[in-house]
């Protein structure tokens, strides 16, 4: 599986796109597998063990829900909420 990350997730991976061996069946499984492979990313993805509602996930360019099926040859994109700034 190829995973493209945005925002602060790049600091956890060191690159924009990573390859990940994936044996699960859902988007949630893929995100969990990513967080296990890159533990520093978890702080940007989860609150109290649940995926933050602000995190956007797409599979092969289409927005996806956590229970949607995903294959091991899919392209996943993870976009955490951008925070900060001032008015």
- What residue ranges define each of the domains in the chain, with the CATH number in brackets? 2-79 (3.10.20.30)
- pTM of the prediction? 0.88
pLDDT of residue 85: 45
Residue 87: count of CB within 10 angstroms of its CB: 2
At 23-48, the pLDDT tens digits run: 889 999 999 999 999 999 999 999 99
Element spanning 51, H or E? strand 50-51
Dihedral pair phi/psi, residue 10, rounded to 5°: -65, -30
Residue 79 burial by Cβ neighbours in a 10 Å radius (0-12, 13-18, 19+): middle
């Amino acid at each position: 599986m190829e995973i493209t990350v945005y925002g602060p997730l790049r600091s956890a991976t060191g690159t924009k796109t990573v390859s990940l061996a994936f044996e699960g069946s859902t988007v949630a499984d893929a995100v969990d597998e990513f967080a296990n492979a890159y533990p520093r990313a978890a702080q940007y993805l989860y609150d109290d063990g649940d995926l933050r509602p602000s995190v956007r996930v797409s599979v092969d360019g289409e927005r996806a829900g956590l229970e949607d099926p995903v294959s091991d040859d899919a392209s996943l994109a993870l976009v955490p909420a951008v925070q900060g700034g001032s008015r």
